[in-house]
Amino acid sequence: MKESYFADSTRYENGMKYERCGRSGVLLPKVSLGFWHNFGSVDPYERSREITHYAFDHGITHFDLANNYGPIYGSAEETMGRLMDEDFRPYRDELFISSKAGYDMWPGPYGNWGSRKYLMASLDQSLKRMKIDYVDLFYSHRYDLETPLEETLQALVDIVRQGKALYVGISNWPLEPLKIGYDYLKAHDVPLLIYQGRLNMLDRKPMETGILDFCAEKGVGFIAFSPLAQGLLTSRYLGGDVPADSRMARGKFLKSAMLTPEMLGKLRNYDAKAKERGETLAQMALAWVLQQKAVTSVLIGASSTKQLEDNLRCINSAPILEKE
């Protein structure tokens, strides 16, 4: 018989810090748990359960998902549904659960991109998989060049008005469409809560394109995904080889061709600076993201509670004064 889960009574006293999301009433943990990897049908459920328990017991209230996280598509949300049934339903009001739609999900013309048909159907499916009545946050996961922006944005507005999401966000949109989206949502009384974008010490596009500046100016939160550059900004690759069990070895998102001599030199230089600070490379890399303007939270994945424990130390990192 599975042991019942009772959340740690000191979960909000274990060191987590919370940041106001833009100009909203929402406080998000500085570190949020992403379900992109390690929570699908190919992953051991008990390990996923252990990680989520550890996260919540240490003040991580935000779990971030998307319709096609897995593999297989939808299976991370199914894991969330099982966790909800077995462990987290008594704590639902303490959780901030997000999901998204925008990338490939099911066959045919209605299972991708940004149409009203796709977004609404996808969210209905997500709610069933996660066994919840609403998500706290629903994102348009990517910019659609073909669908009129107004259609995508009105779908987000209507999703909130239907009570299926409390807030909406935008992920991976360029700056100019983001500006249009911000204005449209504000005019329809469903303000844009947050922007999700890739940001790390090796990829600073949101800074270079003005997205972080825009979010800061307008009071929109920003949450960074891939803050460790898919694991490049960890100790895994400092030796110059590719471990057999690593994400790079699988080669889907992180390619071995990226580990050039130039990249390796940069990683080792960062690692030396981290050691001077008494930190791991990963801890310094997470702290660097958290210290950027407008950043509310970082999304981290975890394959073990030990990894999560180590990464959570970034919350108390000293300011990174020099330009990294």
Distance CA 239, CA 253 (A): 20
User: Which residue would you say has higher pLDDT here, 45 or 249?
Assistant: 45
What's 90's DSSP letter? G
In which band, very low, low, confident or very high, does the pLDDT at 237 lie, cut at 50, 70 and 90? confident
pLDDT at residue number 52: 98
Does the N-terminal peptide bond of residue 320 adopt cis geometry, omega within 30 degrees of 0?
no
> What pLDDT was estimated at residue 324?
45
DSSP assignment of 182-249: HHHHHHTT--EEEEEEE-BTTB-HHHHTTHHHHHHHHT-EEEEE-TTGGGTTSGGGTTSS--TTSHHH
Each residue's pLDDT tens digit, 139-198: 999 999 999 999 999 999 999 999 999 999 999 999 999 999 999 999 999 999 999 999
What pLDDT was estimated at residue 41?
97
Q: What is the mean pLDDT of the chain?
A: 95
Taking only the tens place, the pLDDT of each residue in 181-228 is: 999 999 999 999 999 999 999 999 999 999 999 999 999 999 999 999
The predicted model gives 50-73 an average pLDDT of 98
Please state the φ and ψ torsions of residue 72, each to the nearest 5 degrees: -80, 165
Residue type present at position 314: C
Whether 58 and 15 have beta carbons less than 8 Å apart is answered as yes
Residue 322: what pLDDT?
Answer: 55
Model confidence over 125-135: pLDDT tens digits?
Answer: 999 999 999 99
Would you put residue 278 in left (φ > 0), alpha (ψ -120 to 50) or beta? left
Checking DSSP bridges between strand 18-20 and strand 27-29, what pairing results, if any?
A: antiparallel
Q: What is the per-residue pLDDT for 253? A: 65
pLDDT for the residue 246: 58
Handedness of CA 122, 30, 247, 206 (dihedral sign): positive
Residues 6+ apart with CB under 8 A from 302: 33, 38, 51, 55, 308, 311
Q: What is d(CA 202, CA 234) in angstroms, rounded to the nearest whole number?
A: 12
What's the pTM? 0.95
pLDDT at residue 3, as a whole number: 85
The tens digit of pLDDT for each residue in 239-295 reads 767 665 656 656 666 777 788 899 999 999 999 999 999 999 999 999 999 999 999
CATH homologous superfamily for the domain 24-238+284-316: NADP-dependent oxidoreductase domain (3.20.20.100)
pLDDT at 1: 65
Per-residue pLDDT band at 104 (split at 50, 70, 90): very high
Yes or no: say if 81 and 99 are a contact pair by the CB < 8 Å rule. Answer: no
**Which of 267, 287, 174 lies closest to 227, judged by CA?**
287
Q: Which helix (H) or strand (E) holds 32?
A: strand 31-34
